[in-house]
A and B are shown apart, each in its own frame.
With several copies, the nearest count.
Chain A
Protein backbone atom coordinates (compact mmCIF):
# COMPACT_ATOMS: atom_id res chain seq x y z
CA UNK A 1 0.00 0.00 0.00
CA UNK A 2 1.04 3.59 -0.45
CA UNK A 3 0.45 6.81 1.39
CA UNK A 4 -2.30 7.67 -1.05
CA UNK A 5 -4.20 8.85 1.94
CA UNK A 6 -6.12 6.14 3.67
CA UNK A 7 -9.68 5.21 3.05
CA UNK A 8 -12.09 6.63 5.55
CA UNK A 9 -11.37 4.10 8.25
CA UNK A 10 -10.31 6.97 10.54
CA UNK A 11 -13.34 9.11 9.77
CA UNK A 12 -14.80 8.57 13.23
CA UNK A 13 -11.60 9.20 15.12
CA UNK A 14 -11.60 12.56 16.88
CA UNK A 15 -8.84 14.04 18.98
CA UNK A 16 -8.73 16.45 21.90
CA UNK A 17 -5.46 18.35 22.06
CA UNK A 18 -4.63 21.76 23.48
CA UNK A 19 -4.04 23.16 20.04
CA UNK A 20 -6.86 21.38 18.27
CA UNK A 21 -9.93 19.36 18.94
CA UNK A 22 -11.99 17.73 16.24
CA UNK A 23 -11.79 15.03 13.58
CA UNK A 24 -8.34 13.53 13.07
CA UNK A 25 -8.71 13.79 9.29
CA UNK A 26 -9.22 17.54 9.58
CA UNK A 27 -6.17 17.79 11.79
CA UNK A 28 -4.13 16.20 8.99
CA UNK A 29 -5.66 18.61 6.47
CA UNK A 30 -4.88 21.63 8.67
CA UNK A 31 -1.29 20.52 9.09
CA UNK A 32 -0.87 19.98 5.36
CA UNK A 33 -2.21 23.48 4.74
CA UNK A 34 0.17 25.07 7.25
CA UNK A 35 -2.77 26.25 9.31
CA UNK A 36 -1.46 24.28 12.23
CA UNK A 37 2.16 23.97 13.18
CA UNK A 38 3.26 20.37 13.02
CA UNK A 39 5.67 20.79 15.84
CA UNK A 40 2.98 22.01 18.17
CA UNK A 41 1.16 18.73 17.81
CA UNK A 42 2.15 16.46 20.68
CA UNK A 43 2.49 13.24 18.72
CA UNK A 44 2.70 11.14 21.85
CA UNK A 45 -0.66 12.48 23.02
CA UNK A 46 -2.04 11.81 19.58
CA UNK A 47 -0.97 8.17 19.74
CA UNK A 48 -2.31 7.85 23.29
CA UNK A 49 -5.57 9.31 22.18
CA UNK A 50 -5.75 6.78 19.36
CA UNK A 51 -4.94 3.90 21.68
CA UNK A 52 -7.64 5.17 24.04
CA UNK A 53 -10.20 5.31 21.24
CA UNK A 54 -9.21 1.81 20.21
CA UNK A 55 -9.74 0.52 23.73
CA UNK A 56 -13.20 2.04 23.87
CA UNK A 57 -14.15 0.53 20.53
CA UNK A 58 -12.04 -2.60 19.97
CA UNK A 59 -14.27 -3.87 17.17
CA UNK A 60 -14.22 -0.67 15.10
CA UNK A 61 -11.88 -0.77 12.15
CA UNK A 62 -9.44 -3.34 13.46
CA UNK A 63 -6.09 -3.71 11.81
CA UNK A 64 -7.08 -1.72 8.75
CA UNK A 65 -7.66 1.28 10.93
CA UNK A 66 -4.44 0.62 12.86
CA UNK A 67 -2.56 0.47 9.59
CA UNK A 68 -4.07 3.71 8.39
CA UNK A 69 -3.30 5.38 11.66
CA UNK A 70 0.26 4.08 11.75
CA UNK A 71 0.74 5.21 8.15
CA UNK A 72 -0.43 8.76 8.75
CA UNK A 73 1.18 8.99 12.19
CA UNK A 74 4.57 7.95 10.83
CA UNK A 75 4.22 10.52 8.05
CA UNK A 76 3.58 13.09 10.79
CA UNK A 77 6.68 11.92 12.65
CA UNK A 78 8.78 12.33 9.53
CA UNK A 79 7.23 15.69 8.74
CA UNK A 80 7.88 16.84 12.26
CA UNK A 81 11.49 15.71 12.18
CA UNK A 82 11.94 17.55 8.89
CA UNK A 83 10.42 20.69 10.35
CA UNK A 84 12.65 20.51 13.38
CA UNK A 85 15.78 19.88 11.41
CA UNK A 86 18.05 22.91 10.99
CA UNK A 87 17.06 25.38 8.32
CA UNK A 88 18.56 24.58 4.96
CA UNK A 89 18.67 28.13 3.79
CA UNK A 90 20.54 28.72 0.55
CA UNK A 91 21.08 32.30 1.67
CA UNK A 92 22.69 31.29 4.91
CA UNK A 93 26.37 31.85 5.17
CA UNK A 94 26.98 28.14 5.45
CA UNK A 95 27.38 28.10 9.18
CA UNK A 96 25.15 25.07 9.66
CA UNK A 97 28.00 22.77 10.47
CA UNK A 98 29.90 25.12 12.69
CA UNK A 99 30.76 23.84 16.11
CA UNK A 100 29.84 26.30 18.78
CA UNK A 101 31.88 26.90 21.86
CA UNK A 102 29.94 26.57 25.12
CA UNK A 103 29.96 30.36 25.38
CA UNK A 104 28.55 30.76 21.88
CA UNK A 105 25.97 28.10 22.58
CA UNK A 106 25.02 29.91 25.77
CA UNK A 107 24.69 33.16 23.82
CA UNK A 108 22.42 31.55 21.27
CA UNK A 109 20.27 29.89 23.88
CA UNK A 110 20.04 33.09 25.85
CA UNK A 111 18.92 34.96 22.80
CA UNK A 112 16.37 32.30 22.02
CA UNK A 113 15.11 32.30 25.60
CA UNK A 114 14.45 36.02 25.34
CA UNK A 115 12.57 35.54 22.08
CA UNK A 116 10.59 32.75 23.71
CA UNK A 117 9.57 35.05 26.55
CA UNK A 118 8.80 37.86 24.10
CA UNK A 119 6.57 35.44 22.19
CA UNK A 120 4.66 34.66 25.39
CA UNK A 121 4.27 38.37 25.99
CA UNK A 122 2.95 38.83 22.43
CA UNK A 123 0.46 36.01 22.88
CA UNK A 124 -1.02 37.82 25.87
CA UNK A 125 -1.10 41.12 23.95
CA UNK A 126 -2.92 39.56 21.00
CA UNK A 127 -5.41 37.88 23.32
CA UNK A 128 -6.11 41.11 25.19
CA UNK A 129 -6.74 42.97 21.94
CA UNK A 130 -8.69 40.38 19.99
CA UNK A 131 -12.11 41.15 18.54
CA UNK A 132 -11.51 44.68 17.27
CA UNK A 133 -12.81 44.68 13.70
CA UNK A 134 -12.12 47.82 11.67
CA UNK A 135 -14.70 49.78 9.71
CA UNK A 136 -15.73 48.40 6.33
CA UNK A 137 -16.95 51.79 5.16
CA UNK A 138 -13.73 52.61 3.38
CA UNK A 139 -13.85 54.83 0.35
CA UNK A 140 -12.22 53.48 -2.76
CA UNK A 141 -9.35 55.72 -3.78
CA UNK A 142 -9.96 58.13 -6.62
CA UNK A 143 -9.86 56.28 -9.92
CA UNK A 144 -6.36 56.30 -11.28
CA UNK A 145 -4.73 56.63 -7.87
CA UNK A 146 -3.92 52.98 -7.41
CA UNK A 147 -1.27 51.60 -9.72
CA UNK A 148 -0.74 47.86 -9.99
CA UNK A 149 2.34 46.68 -11.82
CA UNK A 150 1.36 44.06 -14.40
CA UNK A 151 4.70 42.30 -13.98
CA UNK A 152 3.95 41.84 -10.28
CA UNK A 153 0.65 40.19 -11.22
CA UNK A 154 2.48 37.83 -13.60
CA UNK A 155 5.04 37.09 -10.94
CA UNK A 156 2.27 36.40 -8.43
CA UNK A 157 0.60 34.06 -10.93
CA UNK A 158 3.86 32.18 -11.38
CA UNK A 159 4.36 31.94 -7.63
CA UNK A 160 0.79 30.87 -6.82
CA UNK A 161 0.48 28.34 -9.62
CA UNK A 162 3.84 26.68 -9.17
CA UNK A 163 3.60 26.29 -5.41
CA UNK A 164 3.56 22.76 -4.09
CA UNK A 165 0.69 22.63 -1.66
CA UNK A 166 1.28 19.24 -0.15
CA UNK A 167 4.48 18.96 1.80
CA UNK A 168 7.07 17.12 -0.24
CA UNK A 169 6.81 13.68 1.31
CA UNK A 170 6.90 11.84 -2.00
CA UNK A 171 10.68 11.62 -1.90
CA UNK A 172 10.21 9.39 1.09
CA UNK A 173 8.91 6.80 -1.32
CA UNK A 174 5.66 4.97 -1.12
CA UNK A 175 4.87 3.29 2.14
CA UNK A 176 5.34 -0.29 1.06
CA UNK A 177 4.97 -1.93 4.41
CA UNK A 178 1.90 -2.65 6.46
CA UNK A 179 1.42 -2.82 10.15
CA UNK A 180 0.39 -6.46 9.78
CA UNK A 181 3.65 -7.39 8.05
CA UNK A 182 5.75 -5.82 10.75
CA UNK A 183 3.56 -7.28 13.48
CA UNK A 184 4.19 -10.69 11.89
CA UNK A 185 7.90 -10.03 11.78
CA UNK A 186 7.96 -9.04 15.44
CA UNK A 187 6.04 -12.17 16.43
CA UNK A 188 8.55 -14.31 14.55
CA UNK A 189 11.50 -12.56 16.19
CA UNK A 190 9.98 -13.04 19.64
CA UNK A 191 9.87 -16.81 19.26
CA UNK A 192 13.53 -16.94 20.28
CA UNK A 193 12.97 -14.70 23.31
CA UNK A 194 13.20 -11.00 24.16
CA UNK A 195 14.74 -8.64 21.62
CA UNK A 196 15.60 -4.98 21.76
CA UNK A 197 13.82 -2.57 19.43
CA UNK A 198 17.20 -1.28 18.29
CA UNK A 199 18.35 -4.76 17.24
CA UNK A 200 15.02 -5.52 15.66
CA UNK A 201 15.06 -2.42 13.49
CA UNK A 202 18.82 -2.17 12.87
CA UNK A 203 18.49 -2.86 9.16
CA UNK A 204 15.32 -0.85 8.63
CA UNK A 205 14.90 2.60 7.15
CA UNK A 206 13.24 5.32 9.20
CA UNK A 207 9.79 4.65 7.85
CA UNK A 208 9.92 0.95 8.63
CA UNK A 209 11.25 1.75 12.08
CA UNK A 210 8.33 4.06 12.71
CA UNK A 211 5.81 1.48 11.55
CA UNK A 212 7.61 -1.25 13.53
CA UNK A 213 7.23 0.91 16.62
CA UNK A 214 3.53 1.33 15.94
CA UNK A 215 3.23 -2.43 15.40
CA UNK A 216 5.02 -3.10 18.68
CA UNK A 217 2.65 -0.72 20.46
CA UNK A 218 -0.27 -2.46 18.85
CA UNK A 219 0.97 -5.89 19.92
CA UNK A 220 1.60 -4.62 23.44
CA UNK A 221 -1.94 -3.34 23.44
CA UNK A 222 -3.17 -6.80 22.52
CA UNK A 223 -1.12 -8.33 25.29
CA UNK A 224 1.15 -10.24 22.93
CA UNK A 225 4.27 -8.60 24.30
CA UNK A 226 5.46 -6.19 26.94
CA UNK A 227 7.64 -3.17 26.35
CA UNK A 228 10.23 -2.25 28.93
CA UNK A 229 12.74 0.52 29.10
CA UNK A 230 14.69 0.65 32.32
CA UNK A 231 16.25 4.04 31.88
CA UNK A 232 15.39 7.12 29.86
CA UNK A 233 16.75 6.84 26.33
CA UNK A 234 17.98 3.33 27.18
CA UNK A 235 17.25 0.27 25.04
CA UNK A 236 13.61 -0.63 24.53
CA UNK A 237 13.05 -4.34 25.11
CA UNK A 238 10.24 -6.30 23.50
CA UNK A 239 9.42 -9.33 25.61
CA UNK A 240 6.96 -12.07 24.68
CA UNK A 241 4.26 -12.49 27.28
CA UNK A 242 4.27 -15.95 28.82
CA UNK A 243 0.78 -16.82 27.73
CA UNK A 244 -0.69 -19.57 25.66
CA UNK A 245 -0.23 -19.12 21.90
CA UNK A 246 -3.85 -18.05 21.32
CA UNK A 247 -3.12 -14.75 23.01
CA UNK A 248 -0.93 -13.92 20.03
CA UNK A 249 -3.87 -13.76 17.70
CA UNK A 250 -5.21 -10.33 16.93
CA UNK A 251 -8.28 -9.58 18.94
CA UNK A 252 -10.12 -7.86 16.12
Chain B
Protein backbone atom coordinates (compact mmCIF):
# COMPACT_ATOMS: atom_id res chain seq x y z
CA UNK B 1 0.00 0.00 0.00
CA UNK B 2 3.04 2.26 0.34
CA UNK B 3 2.78 3.22 -3.32
CA UNK B 4 -0.99 3.87 -3.23
CA UNK B 5 -2.71 7.25 -3.11
CA UNK B 6 -2.41 9.32 0.04
CA UNK B 7 -5.03 8.87 2.74
CA UNK B 8 -6.27 12.47 2.45
CA UNK B 9 -6.63 12.16 -1.31
CA UNK B 10 -8.77 9.04 -1.14
CA UNK B 11 -11.06 10.64 1.43
CA UNK B 12 -11.40 13.82 -0.63
CA UNK B 13 -12.33 11.77 -3.69
CA UNK B 14 -14.94 9.71 -1.88
CA UNK B 15 -16.48 12.80 -0.31
CA UNK B 16 -16.69 14.52 -3.71
CA UNK B 17 -18.87 11.76 -5.10
CA UNK B 18 -21.21 11.57 -2.14
CA UNK B 19 -23.85 14.21 -1.69
CA UNK B 20 -24.86 12.73 1.68
CA UNK B 21 -22.59 12.63 4.75
CA UNK B 22 -20.33 9.56 4.85
CA UNK B 23 -19.76 7.76 8.15
CA UNK B 24 -16.26 6.82 9.25
CA UNK B 25 -16.89 3.11 8.84
CA UNK B 26 -17.96 3.60 5.21
CA UNK B 27 -14.94 5.84 4.66
CA UNK B 28 -12.73 3.25 6.21
CA UNK B 29 -14.02 0.39 4.08
CA UNK B 30 -13.86 2.45 0.86
CA UNK B 31 -10.34 3.71 1.45
CA UNK B 32 -9.00 0.68 3.29
CA UNK B 33 -7.62 3.00 5.99
CA UNK B 34 -7.57 1.88 9.60
CA UNK B 35 -9.49 4.15 11.97
CA UNK B 36 -6.51 6.03 13.53
CA UNK B 37 -5.05 6.89 10.14
CA UNK B 38 -8.49 7.89 8.92
CA UNK B 39 -9.04 10.18 11.89
CA UNK B 40 -5.75 11.97 11.45
CA UNK B 41 -6.31 12.39 7.69
CA UNK B 42 -9.77 13.83 8.40
CA UNK B 43 -8.25 16.26 10.88
CA UNK B 44 -5.80 17.54 8.30
CA UNK B 45 -8.56 17.79 5.69
CA UNK B 46 -10.61 19.83 8.11
CA UNK B 47 -7.83 22.41 7.99
CA UNK B 48 -7.59 22.30 4.21
CA UNK B 49 -11.35 22.70 3.89
CA UNK B 50 -12.05 25.23 6.63
CA UNK B 51 -14.29 28.29 6.14
CA UNK B 52 -11.20 30.50 6.32
CA UNK B 53 -9.18 28.68 3.71
CA UNK B 54 -11.63 27.37 1.15
CA UNK B 55 -14.90 27.78 -0.70
CA UNK B 56 -15.54 24.12 0.00
CA UNK B 57 -15.78 23.18 3.65
CA UNK B 58 -15.60 19.80 5.34
CA UNK B 59 -18.33 19.41 7.89
CA UNK B 60 -18.70 16.76 10.54
CA UNK B 61 -22.45 16.36 10.80
CA UNK B 62 -24.67 13.78 12.41
CA UNK B 63 -24.33 11.15 9.70
CA UNK B 64 -20.60 11.59 9.14
CA UNK B 65 -18.39 13.81 6.99
CA UNK B 66 -19.60 15.91 4.12
CA UNK B 67 -18.20 18.52 1.73
CA UNK B 68 -20.43 21.57 1.41
CA UNK B 69 -20.12 25.03 -0.01
CA UNK B 70 -18.78 27.74 2.28
CA UNK B 71 -21.80 29.76 3.48
CA UNK B 72 -19.76 32.88 2.74
CA UNK B 73 -20.03 32.01 -0.96
CA UNK B 74 -23.79 31.47 -0.87
CA UNK B 75 -24.51 34.49 -3.06
CA UNK B 76 -22.32 33.21 -5.90
CA UNK B 77 -23.80 29.72 -5.62
CA UNK B 78 -27.31 31.13 -5.64
CA UNK B 79 -26.61 33.24 -8.74
CA UNK B 80 -25.13 30.22 -10.45
CA UNK B 81 -28.18 28.17 -9.62
CA UNK B 82 -30.46 30.96 -10.75
CA UNK B 83 -28.77 31.29 -14.10
CA UNK B 84 -28.04 27.69 -14.93
CA UNK B 85 -30.56 26.03 -17.11
CA UNK B 86 -31.38 22.46 -16.19
CA UNK B 87 -29.78 19.90 -18.47
CA UNK B 88 -32.52 18.41 -20.60
CA UNK B 89 -33.26 14.75 -20.00
CA UNK B 90 -31.91 12.10 -22.36
CA UNK B 91 -34.04 9.45 -24.04
CA UNK B 92 -32.58 6.93 -21.59
CA UNK B 93 -33.69 9.11 -18.66
CA UNK B 94 -37.21 9.37 -20.11
CA UNK B 95 -37.33 5.58 -20.41
CA UNK B 96 -36.21 5.03 -16.83
CA UNK B 97 -38.82 7.52 -15.61
CA UNK B 98 -41.47 5.78 -17.72
CA UNK B 99 -40.51 2.45 -16.07
CA UNK B 100 -40.85 3.94 -12.59
CA UNK B 101 -44.08 5.70 -13.51
CA UNK B 102 -45.85 2.77 -15.14
CA UNK B 103 -44.27 -0.26 -13.45
CA UNK B 104 -42.98 1.22 -10.20
CA UNK B 105 -42.03 1.10 -7.52
CA UNK B 106 -39.30 -1.18 -8.83
CA UNK B 107 -35.63 -1.86 -8.21
CA UNK B 108 -32.65 -0.72 -10.27
CA UNK B 109 -32.18 -4.32 -11.41
CA UNK B 110 -35.77 -4.54 -12.57
CA UNK B 111 -35.42 -1.30 -14.54
CA UNK B 112 -32.29 -2.61 -16.22
CA UNK B 113 -34.01 -5.87 -17.08
CA UNK B 114 -37.09 -4.22 -18.51
CA UNK B 115 -34.93 -1.93 -20.64
CA UNK B 116 -32.42 -4.63 -21.52
CA UNK B 117 -29.46 -2.43 -20.65
CA UNK B 118 -27.70 -1.52 -17.42
CA UNK B 119 -29.44 1.62 -16.17
CA UNK B 120 -27.57 2.26 -12.91
CA UNK B 121 -25.87 5.46 -14.04
CA UNK B 122 -29.09 6.95 -15.40
CA UNK B 123 -30.92 6.01 -12.19
CA UNK B 124 -28.21 7.65 -10.08
CA UNK B 125 -28.51 10.83 -12.11
CA UNK B 126 -32.30 10.91 -11.74
CA UNK B 127 -32.03 10.34 -7.97
CA UNK B 128 -29.56 13.24 -7.79
CA UNK B 129 -31.95 15.41 -9.76
CA UNK B 130 -34.79 14.57 -7.42
CA UNK B 131 -36.95 12.99 -10.12
CA UNK B 132 -36.71 9.48 -8.67
CA UNK B 133 -36.80 8.54 -5.01
CA UNK B 134 -36.36 5.38 -2.97
CA UNK B 135 -39.80 4.51 -1.63
CA UNK B 136 -39.03 1.21 0.09
CA UNK B 137 -37.13 -2.03 -0.29
CA UNK B 138 -37.99 -5.27 -2.04
CA UNK B 139 -37.64 -7.77 0.81
CA UNK B 140 -38.49 -10.66 -1.49
CA UNK B 141 -35.53 -10.12 -3.76
CA UNK B 142 -31.99 -11.17 -2.91
CA UNK B 143 -30.08 -8.31 -1.30
CA UNK B 144 -33.34 -6.44 -0.55
CA UNK B 145 -32.76 -3.77 -3.22
CA UNK B 146 -34.31 -0.32 -2.90
CA UNK B 147 -37.55 0.27 -4.77
CA UNK B 148 -37.72 3.44 -6.83
CA UNK B 149 -40.66 5.61 -7.73
CA UNK B 150 -41.18 8.99 -9.37
CA UNK B 151 -41.28 12.10 -7.19
CA UNK B 152 -43.75 14.95 -6.90
CA UNK B 153 -41.11 17.06 -8.60
CA UNK B 154 -41.34 14.77 -11.61
CA UNK B 155 -45.12 15.15 -11.68
CA UNK B 156 -44.78 18.92 -11.34
CA UNK B 157 -42.24 19.04 -14.17
CA UNK B 158 -44.66 17.23 -16.45
CA UNK B 159 -47.53 19.47 -15.38
CA UNK B 160 -49.47 16.54 -13.95
CA UNK B 161 -51.06 16.32 -10.56
CA UNK B 162 -51.06 12.53 -10.26
CA UNK B 163 -49.63 9.63 -12.20
CA UNK B 164 -53.16 8.90 -13.42
CA UNK B 165 -52.82 11.92 -15.69
CA UNK B 166 -50.70 9.84 -18.05
CA UNK B 167 -52.24 7.69 -20.78
CA UNK B 168 -52.87 4.13 -19.55
CA UNK B 169 -50.19 1.59 -20.36
CA UNK B 170 -52.65 -0.52 -22.35
CA UNK B 171 -53.07 2.36 -24.80
CA UNK B 172 -49.32 2.51 -25.42
CA UNK B 173 -48.28 -1.10 -25.89
CA UNK B 174 -49.91 -4.30 -27.11
CA UNK B 175 -50.98 -7.06 -24.69
CA UNK B 176 -48.16 -9.29 -25.96
CA UNK B 177 -45.57 -6.60 -25.38
CA UNK B 178 -47.00 -5.99 -21.95
CA UNK B 179 -46.81 -9.65 -21.01
CA UNK B 180 -43.20 -9.79 -22.18
CA UNK B 181 -42.45 -6.85 -19.92
CA UNK B 182 -44.21 -8.59 -17.01
CA UNK B 183 -42.11 -11.70 -17.66
CA UNK B 184 -38.95 -9.67 -17.51
CA UNK B 185 -40.12 -8.07 -14.27
CA UNK B 186 -40.94 -11.45 -12.77
CA UNK B 187 -37.54 -12.80 -13.69
CA UNK B 188 -36.00 -9.77 -12.01
CA UNK B 189 -37.44 -10.52 -8.60
CA UNK B 190 -37.66 -14.29 -8.63
CA UNK B 191 -34.73 -16.20 -7.16
CA UNK B 192 -32.85 -18.22 -9.76
CA UNK B 193 -34.92 -21.25 -10.68
CA UNK B 194 -31.98 -23.52 -10.83
CA UNK B 195 -31.54 -24.53 -7.21
CA UNK B 196 -28.53 -26.66 -7.99
CA UNK B 197 -25.93 -23.92 -8.04
CA UNK B 198 -22.87 -25.19 -9.77
CA UNK B 199 -20.28 -23.87 -7.38
Number of interface residues of B (CB under 8 A): 91
Once the chains are docked, how many angstroms separate the CA of A82 from the CA of B190?
Answer: 30
Q: Is the CB of A112 within 8 A of B143?
A: no
Who on chain B is nearest to A156 by CB? B94
Q: Is the CB of B157 within 8 A of A137?
A: no
Q: Is the CB of B98 within 8 A of A135?
A: no
Once the chains are docked, how many angstroms separate the CA of A12 from the CA of B197?
Answer: 10
Once the chains are docked, how many angstroms separate the CA of A34 from the CA of B185?
Answer: 19
Of B82, B87, B118, chain A has the most CB atoms within 10 Å of the CB of: B118
Once the chains are docked, how many angstroms separate the CA of A111 from the CA of B84?
Answer: 36
The 0/1 profile, CB within 8 Å of B marked 1, for residues 190-226 of chain A is 0000000000000000000000000000000000000
Once the chains are docked, how many angstroms separate the CA of A90 from the CA of B113?
Answer: 13
Residues in B with CB closer than 8 Å to A106 are: 181-182, 185-186
- Known pairs A35-B87, A102-B190, A123-B91; list 6 more (Cβ under 8 Å): A39-B117, A130-B71, A131-B71, A132-B68, A138-B18, A149-B158
Of B20, B90, B116, B125, chain A has the most CB atoms within 10 Å of the CB of: B116
Q: Contact partner of B125 among A34, A128, A153, CB < 8 A? A: A34
The 0/1 profile, CB within 8 Å of A marked 1, for residues 112-144 of chain B is 111111111110110011110000000001110
Q: Does A246 contact B (CB under 8 A)?
A: no
Q: Does B173 contact A (CB under 8 A)?
A: yes
A-B contact pairs, 14 of them (CB 8 A): A86-B116, A87-B120, A110-B182, A120-B94, A121-B172, A126-B158, A131-B70, A133-B13, A137-B68, A140-B130, A146-B157, A148-B94, A153-B94, A160-B99
Which A136-161 residues sit within 8 Å CB-CB of chain B?
A: 136-150, 152-161
Which A219-239 residues sit within 8 Å CB-CB of chain B?
A: none
Residues in B with CB closer than 8 Å to A92 are: 109, 112-113
Who on chain B is nearest to A133 by CB? B69
Q: Contact partner of B98 among A11, A19, A91, A118, CB < 8 A? A: A118
Q: Contact partner of A125 among B102, B116, B160, CB < 8 A? A: B160
Q: Is the CB of A138 within 8 A of B117?
A: no
Once the chains are docked, how many angstroms separate the CA of A120 from the CA of B112?
Answer: 18
Q: Contact partner of B172 among A141, A149, A157, CB < 8 A? A: A157
Q: Contact partner of B85 among A93, A108, A136, A145, CB < 8 A? A: A145
